[in-house]
Amino acid sequence: MKDYLQQSIWRFWDQSVSGKGHSPLESFAADDTLCQLVGQGQSPATIRTWVHDETVVLGIQDHRLPHIQEGMELLNNRGFTTIVRNSGGLAVVLDPGVLNISIVMSEQEDKIDINTGYNIMVELIKRLFPQVADKIEAYEIVGSYCPGSYDLSIDGKKFAGISQRRLRQGIAVQIYLCIEGSGVERAKLVRDFYQISLQGEETKFIYPDIQPEVMASLSELLDEPLTVQKTVIDLQRLLASLCNELKMGTLQTEEMELYAFYLKRVLDRNQSMLSKG
């Protein structure tokens, strides 16, 4: 495979601290904005890091659960806000111990198929954690929340999940990395959400039967005191080694108008989904 991580210029936008008090909906709007900017050649390939306070991000199928309002109430009572994302997948947990990374690349010159997109992210994570690169595997972990064929695990325990978004010739490959805290506790929260949202009813869609013991954080798996902030610093150093120029910083003034457009679209869609509940 071509080494997509080797770029003449990487743009790096770190929201691992500044994003905490904000809704993840703002992050989805940011990635849509970057998709258009990068896809249309108005920005170099970009990596964005983002962290949010306690939130459960629901997929569209989750919102069709028969007792979704009770499930959302349970999450709220446990200190988590809920939003519905504008792409596929199922419920995932975000909190200050979960680092999200988005890789945004252009398909203008070179088509990037779905599997290649996933593999680019897998390669980035292996380079970011070289001490366990040979142990990281990508396959579906049955019993995890938001299971998928590119779940990342070590010794059968999932610590990350990957998704993709495509827009205006841009592709955003997104990963949530459970760096700190307890993977089991996060999984128990989602298990309880599904139990109360289903209440034993039969549904056309098969929701995951969550087994909390199949999930863990990287700190637990490596038995090291890893932190989100150290991981962000390591990622910045890695990126600097993969390019001739590393451009740091947030959206520029002229890019904010586009961001405002995508933010309104994401907020309106989320409001529409929640009002149907």
Catalytic center residues: 146
The Cα–Cα gap between 89 and 147 comes to 8
Q: Which residue type sits at 136?
A: I
Q: Which residues contact 157 (CB under 8 A, 6 or more apart)?
A: 141, 183, 214, 215, 216, 221
The Cα–Cα gap between 18 and 268 comes to 23
CB crowding 63-72: b at 16 or more within 10 Å, else e:
bebeebeebb
